[in-house]
Structure 1
């Protein structure tokens, strides 16, 4: 997601910088994707020192690193970290929240560039990037004296952090990549829809029973995915310097639960349409023993959606772990570390070639 946000902003960012920072220079913005963040709390100065290894041949004046890793200053989520000596900065997307993310990143970039160019401390978008922490925070950064951090304090900051982490996980895409799970859900729904006993049972259940069945089915599918694919983080598996209060498992739970909700909503909409299209009112009345109305079609689709979640659980068990584990932050961070190790080994062997310079 950081790469998508950066690539979307890059074409129009020079116009914003010309208008808000300086019109006397030519602004050229290039984007590069690389697994630069090796540890959760690595400092921006350490990242800037590593840029020569990854971006050999590319000339740059200001480097802004965008990451989906949550960062912290004690218990405060860090949104932006600026190192004036290295003319570099780091933006942590989760601390910016989940709403209007591209606009917030653009505003954060404008504030960062203005600071590095004009050496001004004031920011124009404090509601986006927050404020400097009131108390000193220990740092592992080698150049902590030249680094300025911005945090989003209070309950608002933690809510934004959780929402931003869930947004970075993109739960609406999860089931789109799980073909076997989708096949299990829709196959189960098809079998149930063709069973007349399902029609009778579904139209006789009350709304509160339907709601209980749906809730239990959704929770069961969520728990099944997390347990079956080992998404629940244990203390020994968490990234280095991981804060036990950080909501890794909460975010994983919310991500999977929202993915299940999206799947249920899509299936419910399809079943309502199919019910009205294929199931005639006389046929439904014959099995219910009373006049059928629109609420009966909705009840039928609702009941089948709930039960079909069980078929989805069996289907997701057939997926590879890598397809599901991208929803877990700790799993993604360990994948980054493996990529860094593999890239380092390729560099040592002379098989890894750096990206070419954009020319400006």
Structure 2
């Protein structure tokens, strides 16, 4: 988090960027690189890399002033640690150093499960890691592309639309601007002030997370939901309940379903971040707000999908005469809608069991990151 410096057109927001160079990343002729790191003709040493990045990012994002710090250190064992581990290490260093964004560069390919990735970008973490071996670019180009991804731009788009660029500039400004601390303020009030002060950033982060794809990425939760839906659809006792429930009761079932799965995912995958020191409080709050909203949206999309699947199943499989004889209600379309709404809610609750079985890394990867192979 930073303040502002004077500029020709008024104060410019200073954005602090940290770049971590792993030991196997060529950085040009520099004594800190170590004797085993080959020199690359035309590539600047870390000091020159920082100055070139400062100038290039300043030109790319008008109205922002960049402070770039390039640090040579190991990100972990790239051959053993998965890309999310390296990403979380990069974020930890960002918080330790007080940077606003951080990019880690390694020479080895990134691995996440069975996948080999060129980069892993997380707007929610304000961080990214890049494999230079697979990216096929210089460290400078890799950092510029990663920063674009963190700020919500397409890293492969050399000329982003003006509206997208303005959104990226707003996101960077909010990352670099502190919310005033007030003594004795509770977390709810502070969270509200952080949310309203960082609204553009939160919306951009949530959009970049693409939470609507969450359900498709979590196979255990989806399997548990579909199995629960199939069982409840053919249980005649539940037909009776759906016929008796009113709209308010149905809405309550939906809310309970969405909240239960959200809690299961957040708690089970340890998605809630606690600040280790007061200076990290705002970044952690932004991260947690974006996380919870992303999960709620993802689970809500799952709930709607299960409702539609239950509606199709009820229309195809539930005989109108049998339904009428069981419930005492005529098998009209509104009754099928109520049944599908009820079954969809129960199926969503059933997905909470599958959420508890999901690997934490799978959940974090589905919510936070956008890897490219």
Q: TM-score range by the shorter chain?
A: 0.5 to 0.7
Q: TM-score w.r.t. structure 1 length?
A: 0.54
Q: Cα deviation per residue 1:223-269 (whole Å; 9 max; x = unaligned)?
A: 12211221111123x9x967446411111111111111111111111
Tell me what 1:210 maps to: 250
Query: Are residue 291 (structure 1) and residue 330 (structure 2) matched?
Result: yes
Tell me what 1:193 maps to: 233
Tell me what 1:273 maps to: 312
> Residues of 1 paired with 2:171 and 2:250: CA distance?
47
Query: Are residue 162 (structure 1) and residue 211 (structure 2) matched?
Result: no
User: Is the partner of 1:185 in helix, strand or coil?
Assistant: helix
State the shift of 1:286 in Å.
0.5
Contact in 1 for aligned 2:306/2:348 (Cα 8 Å): no
Contact in 2 for aligned 1:67/1:93 (Cα 8 Å): yes
Contact in 2 for aligned 1:94/1:161 (Cα 8 Å): no
Q: 1:218 to 1:241 in 2, by over 3 A?
A: closer
The 5 Å alignment of 1:175-254 reads 175-236=215-276, 243-244=282-283, 246-254=285-293
Q: Cα deviation per residue 1:261-312 (whole Å; 9 max; x = unaligned)?
A: 1111111111111111121221111112132210100100100111122221
Q: 1:294 to 1:219 in 2, by over 3 A?
A: same
> Residues of 2 paired with 1:326 and 1:71: CA distance?
12
Task: Name segments (4+ residues, structure 1) moved above 3 Å.
Answer: 34-44, 65-72, 86-96, 101-108, 123-133, 154-157, 240-246
> Residues of 1 paired with 2:172 and 2:327: CA distance?
66
> Residues of 1 paired with 2:275 and 2:262: CA distance?
21
> Residues of 2 paired with 1:137 and 1:296: CA distance?
53
User: Is the partner of 1:235 in helix, strand or coil?
Assistant: coil
> Residues of 1 paired with 2:264 and 2:164: CA distance?
46
Tell me: higher relative CO, structure 1 or 2? Use CA pairs within 8 A at least 6 residues apart: 1
> Residues of 1 paired with 2:310 and 2:344: CA distance?
8
Contact in 2 for aligned 1:171/1:256 (Cα 8 Å): yes
Q: Cα deviation per residue 1:94-135 (whole Å; 9 max; x = unaligned)?
A: 545xxxx54996545x88xxxxxxxxxxx99656635997xx
> Residues of 2 paired with 1:227 and 1:164: CA distance?
24
User: Is the partner of 2:357 in helix, strand or coil?
Assistant: coil
> Residues of 1 paired with 2:312 and 2:354: CA distance?
24
Q: 1:171 to 1:127 in 2, by over 3 A?
A: closer
State the shift of 1:43 in Å.
8.1
User: Is the partner of 1:300 in helix, strand or coil?
Assistant: helix
State the shift of 1:93 in Å.
4.2
Tell me what 1:12 maps to: none
State the shift of 1:181 in Å.
1.3
Contact in 2 for aligned 1:94/1:163 (Cα 8 Å): no
> Residues of 1 paired with 2:208 and 2:225: CA distance?
26
State the shift of 1:175 in Å.
2.1
Query: Are residue 174 (structure 1) and residue 174 (structure 2) matched?
Result: no
State the shift of 1:325 in Å.
2.2
Gaps of 5+ in 2: 1-82, 109-118, 127-139, 179-193
Contact in 1 for aligned 2:220/2:358 (Cα 8 Å): yes
Tell me what 1:318 maps to: 357
Q: TM-score w.r.t. structure 2 length?
A: 0.52
Contact in 1 for aligned 2:222/2:351 (Cα 8 Å): yes
